[in-house]
Amino acid sequence: MRSFLLFFCFMFICMNSIRAKNELDSLFIELDNKILKKDVYIEFKELKIKELKAERSRLNISIGDLYSLNTLLYKEYRSYISDSAIFYLNENLDIADLLKDSSKMNETSIAMANLFAILGMYKEAVDIIDGVKIESLDKQQAIQYYSTKRVIYTNLGSYSHSNRDKALYLKMANAYRDTLANIADKSSEDYLRIAEIRLRLDGNIPEALLINDKRLSMAEVGTPEYALVTFNRSLLYRKQGDLEMEKKYLILSAISDIRSSIKDNASIPILANILMKEGDIDRAYKYVCFSLDNINEYNTRLRSSEILNIQTIIDRAYQKKNEEQNKQLRLFLALISILSVLLIISISYVYKQMKKGIIISKRLKEANLELNTLNQKLHNMNNELRKLNIEVVEANQIKEEYIGYFLDECSKYIDKLDELRKTINKKIQEKQIESLYKISKNNNLKEDELKELFRNFDVMFTHLFPDFVEKFNSLLMDNEQIILKKGESLNNELRIYALIRLGIDDSSKIANFLGYSVNTIYNYRAKIKNKAKISREDFEWTIKKIGTFRK
């Protein structure tokens, strides 16, 4: 009973592992498709921005409406193009100053400081946020104020090279985090995010995951909010050491980033770094190049330097992989050249053997005529010699037909090898490595060549033994006779016994020729013998005596 439970648990774990791998593969495919379709989402983003700009260009728009439209445009550009986001925030600062509206001034200043912190412009962020008067803030502005302060000093602590400054910055960030937790509503996203971060830093991952579940339920799939929550969840799984789940939520975050046209994305570079360590160099290189293009368009020095560091490592690995592939290609070319030389030598040898066979055949015929003349009185012996002569003629005829067929096939194969060599050489010159990789993975060439080999063998054999199928069926019981499909000359069973008729009765040799296992050949032979009219022991001997062939 205990062994059964252990086996059941083992099978359950294996099934979960397979299911998780299949889910990750599907998510990677979806992410790759989203990257290919990124222009569709960007076009939708640009259309939305264009509509807001058209509304902003109206002649009779009030200054209050202009402020609101600038805010909407800032939110569209915030993670899309940083320079444009800064432009509209500056426009709103001017409007707030013109209106002498302290609320609008505070709101815009906090947003500007937050954006500068994201861009790595910490001095500018600190200068702006320190200029905001705390006593004039409403509750929502206060939440944004302390949230921005926390982001600024968390980032300063993360990137500071001085241990003393790092400790001070992180202490200040924790203080702002605690203040934010005290003033935010317990059910709000701001409070839940802070609570999750605190639990993650304390190492309480199960509780942090529960809070993240609440945040996920509040976020809509495909939105910036969903991208942030899934990214935070990946950090929890990283802390827990669950790499598969970390990758899953990094992918989900990246997909939402692309759908929202967010170019300041952190998930894809991290995912690329993980893939590089796992050896998936091609996909890692594609992801990091995609991320770097986004960051260059977004224009942030902080994220750009991070991605460039990752890209340098991945690019080095990518170049190393290409060099190894080139070495393999050169080795394959050398092997093909050697095989070509060996093939030419083999053809020469076969040709010489064929000439010897013709000479031997001629001598046998002359000797047979001489024996017939000299041994007319030895009637019984003469009959035996006549039968032997017929068998020799038949063997020679089969040999000549198959040698001719072999020479023709060798010639065709040399031409195919030469065409393959030219194709590989051309692709190496053009550095089409991906195309060569696809050629090397394609098994269709081998399968097509095997089908052609069997088709030619069937045609040649039935040409030599046109009544073989009929005589073979006559040895089987009436209800067990073989009926060929339309277009077939031989099927698997007939092909095995055709080889036996040609003298190849070793099952291992038959298996090598037909591409089956030895057990499969034994089974086929046993199955046919069971259907025979005559005894099993005499069946194959009788097959070898089917001697009708076309001269």
In order along the chain (551 residues), what is the average pLDDT of each group of 10 residues? 53 51 90 91 92 87 92 92 92 93 93 90 91 90 92 86 87 90 90 91 92 93 92 93 93 92 85 87 85 76 53 59 69 81 85 83 80 70 57 58 59 69 76 73 70 83 86 88 85 88 87 88 89 87 74 47
Please report the pLDDT score of residue 213 as a whole number. Answer: 94
Our CA dihedral for 499, 502, 507, 512, rounded to 10 degrees, sits at -60
CA dist., res. 224 & res. 259, Å (int): 9
> Could you tell me which of 165, 133, 129 has the C-alpha nearest to residue 149?
129
CA dist., res. 352 & res. 361, Å (int): 14
> Could you tell me which of 542, 545, 517 has the C-alpha nearest to residue 528?
542
Max alpha carbon distance in the chain (Å)?
A: 139
Radius of gyration of the CA atoms of the chain, in A: 40
Please report the pLDDT score of residue 103 as a whole number. Answer: 92
Please report the pLDDT score of residue 278 as a whole number. Answer: 87
Q: In one letter, which amino acid is 58?
A: R
Please report the pLDDT score of residue 288 as a whole number. Answer: 81
What SS3 state is found at 72?
A: helix
How many CB atoms lie under 10 A from the CB of residue 88? 24
What SS3 state is found at 476?
A: strand
Please report the pLDDT score of residue 551 as a whole number. Answer: 47
How many CB atoms lie under 10 A from the CB of residue 136? 12
Please report the pLDDT score of residue 435 as a whole number. Answer: 74
Encoded tokens for 315: 């690019």
Residue 185: enclosing H or E segment and its boundaries? Answer: none
Q: What's the helix, strand, coil split of the chain in %, to 5?
A: 85, 0, 15
Residues 6 or more apart whose CB falls under 8 angstroms from that of 326 comprise 428, 433
Please report the pLDDT score of residue 211 as a whole number. Answer: 94
All structural domains of the chain with their residue ranges: 462-551
Please report the pLDDT score of residue 352 as a whole number. Answer: 82
Contact at 8 Å (CB) between 505 and 525?
A: no
Give the burial class of 519: count Cβ atoms within 10 A of its Cβ; 0-12 exposed, 13-18 middle, 19 or more buried: exposed
